[in-house]
Structure 1
Amino acid sequence: MGQVSEQVNQKAFGWAARDPSAVFSPFTFSRGATGENDVTFKVLYCEICHSDLHMAKNDLGEFCTYPLVPGHEIVGIVTEIGSKVEKFKIGDKVGVGCLVGCCRSCENCVNNLENYCPKMIPTQGAKYYDGTTTQGGYSDIMVANKHFVVYIPDDLPLDASAPLLCVGISVYGPLRFYELDKLGKHVGVVRLGGLGHVAVKFAKAMGVKVTCINTSTNKKKEAIEHLGADSFLVSSDQDICKAAISTMDGIIDTVSAPHALEPLIGLLKTNGKVVLIGCLEKPLELPVFPLLMGRKIVGGYASGGMTETQEMLYFASQHNIAAYIDVITMEYLNTAMDRLAKGDIRY
């Protein structure tokens, strides 16, 4: 049964950026009260995502309100629930991903695509229904409407499941939607980083052939022996790339920097699909003729709706899928952000 709390704000402690320098410091702020449809949980882990750094620097051309507490892959243990919350109970492992609100009535929302709602409310740095600014998971507690809270299966490690709330759904979703999850399909994964290594895990669990596409061989052994990739293609090796032309049904492109699409399109079979999921600051050049000559598609995918996110977590649980992680304390946050900006991370 739910516990009915008094309608008073809850004191929260986090780390916030105060301006576009993206230097983080301790920050005390208020979370809303646990309303009748809300879930409050103690935050135990929150992934550091590159988009958090972009958000803190306000360099995506989006409105940013400071102080900003980032974090949109948040997991922890339920401490309080509203009187109308039946899906969760105190002590459950739960998470909140990229969104905490939407209109709940538009075509996208009705079709469980809340992430594409024109009035979608991101977990960090956005205006909530009550006019306050949403603050993310670099904090000690989280309060969210039950609709935007997902259950973390008991057999998933809580720390390594946090990235699945963004990274996981961002690769699981396009594999399903673009029908690259069928037996016999051949999928390429570009760049074996945070998104890429999880994409390989999900694709292999779906039973498809996977080729990792990287700029160097430094992760080849790991890709083959630990992640289970079937092959490894070095994009700078023209002979190897030439041999792989027209061999793939689809490619999950996780690159977040400017890069050429034409070589990737050339790797596709007729009707093949390149799916962009990297967060790009500048537009890419689109080579049209190769698309016309192969009836090929360049598509995109961003996060996922709540039903799909929960489905992804159950799939991850069934197939023992979790992200590779390094666990740090909040006091290490600024150093971690510097390393992230420099690319000084493994995954």
Structure 2
Amino acid sequence: MITAKARAVDGPHQSFHATEIKRRDLDTHDVLIEIKYAGICHSDIHTAHGEWGEVNYPLVPGHEIAGIVTAVGDQVQKYKVGDRVGVGCMVDSCGECENCHKGEEQYCLEGNIPTYAGVDKYGEPTQGGYSTHIVVTEDFVLSIPDNIALDVAAPLLCAGITTYSPLNHWGAGPGKKVAVVGMGGLGHMAVQIAHAMGAEVTVLSQTLNKKEDGLHFGADHYYATSDPKTFEKLAGSFDFILNTVSAKLNMDAYFSLLNLDGALVNVGAPGEPLSLNVFSLIGHRRSFAGSLIGGIRETQEMLDFCSQHDIAPKIEVISADQIDEAYERVLASDVKYRFVIDISTM
């Protein structure tokens, strides 16, 4: 077994503490990664706080992982020692079902194995990237392009693919009018990606506080949703709306912004149910959908796309001792735009 330093939490709303965890010895197709940076995702907070169901504590969160390969199993073909690599939200899947064969492992019919708060094929609980090392089967390891620094690469493994996948699937591109709801960790990535795809991009944020940033990231327009006139002015304007916020919204108001055959897709995951009037959809053949991260093939495609278009998250690097403070700041919307843990501080 391999011993790794880590930061763990022992229960909902408890503080993180230093600990050591065991990583399995390398199987034939496994890769050992020395983690250099790990992003903090809002999903980490939801899970650590027990808000998405029962959690097997102690928990080491973290599914935005960037590091260096330090050892490989004797049958590994894709990676070698010294490679710059990443790990995202899942570390395995059945590999046999229809969805896995399509490269959509996130929708594995047997259930993908999450990077943390899951159980691996050996029957052991998975622990995430707030740690110095991780062992992952090679098929769930991503190659990080040389021109993307490891600290900014980390958030791409969740925030990047979570926004790239729906924009790609629903065809954001030239001639398409795309709105992004929210200008946080996900939203600021969505704006950059949609802009690079060639879409006309509008940010819909509660206030205009981040307008300058939004325009800098590539938005063509920026509106405050706290102003009722916004919904009047933009009625029927958009082909596609990506909702990145994890808050309960007036969905019917946002549906009114879609044109004929427009789609609103949720990647934010509110803790309470959303309600809607079905006539908001029927009237203009509108669609309401959701999207979950992306498969391994598409995640690599996203990394290469970001490399080609110089897309990167705006980050604030913190030490391992600042995780609790970072969680509080995320909940207070006091981050521009993603915290990344320097794992050398473990």
| Runs of at least 5 residues in structure 1 that lack an aligned partner in the other structure | 1-8
Where does residue 3 of structure 1 map in the other structure? none
Where does residue 168 of structure 1 map in the other structure? 160
Secondary structure of residue in 2 paired with 1:44: strand
Contact 1:234–1:241 (8 Å) recurs in 2: no
- How far is 1:178 from its partner? 1.4
Where does residue 35 of structure 1 map in the other structure? 27
Contact 1:78–1:89 (8 Å) recurs in 2: yes
- How far is 1:21 from its partner? 2.5
1:1-347 correspondence to structure 2 within 5 Å? 9-61=1-53, 63-117=54-108, 118-179=110-171, 181-224=172-215, 226-347=216-337
Secondary structure of residue in 1 paired with 2:285: coil
Letter in 1 for 2:168: R
Distance (Å, rounded) in 2 between the aligned partners of 1:342 and 1:317: 31
Contact 1:75–1:158 (8 Å) recurs in 2: yes
Distance (Å, rounded) in 1 between the aligned partners of 2:199 and 2:112: 33
Distance (Å, rounded) in 2 between the aligned partners of 1:220 and 1:309: 29
Contact 1:252–1:277 (8 Å) recurs in 2: yes
Letter in 1 for 2:201: V
**Higher mean displacement: 322-331 or 114-123:** 114-123
Contact 2:23–2:135 (8 Å) recurs in 1: yes
Distance (Å, rounded) in 2 between the aligned partners of 1:293 and 1:75: 46
**Higher mean displacement: 237-246 or 202-211:** 237-246
Secondary structure of residue in 2 paired with 1:55: helix
**Higher mean displacement: 114-123 or 207-216:** 114-123
> Displaced runs of 4+ in structure 1, greater than 3 A?
none
Letter in 1 for 2:50: N
- How far is 1:239 from its partner? 2.5
Distance (Å, rounded) in 2 between the aligned partners of 1:30 and 1:239: 56
- How far is 1:341 from its partner? 2.6
Letter in 2 for 1:70: P
1:63-103 CA distance string (max 9 Å, x none)? 31111110001010111111111211111110110001111
Distance (Å, rounded) in 1 between the aligned partners of 2:186 and 2:138: 27
Secondary structure of residue in 1 paired with 2:241: strand
Distance (Å, rounded) in 2 between the aligned partners of 1:292 and 1:55: 35
1:107-148 CA distance string (max 9 Å, x none)? 111111111113211000111111111010000011100011
Contact 2:142–2:296 (8 Å) recurs in 1: yes
Distance (Å, rounded) in 2 between the aligned partners of 1:234 and 1:125: 37
Pick 1 or 2: higher relative contact order, CA cutoff 8 A, min separation 6.
2
Secondary structure of residue in 1 paired with 2:302: helix
Contact 2:88–2:115 (8 Å) recurs in 1: yes
TM-score, L = length of structure 2: 0.95
- How far is 1:241 from its partner? 2.6
Letter in 2 for 1:279: A
Letter in 2 for 1:296: R
Q: RMSD of the alignment, in Å?
A: 1.0
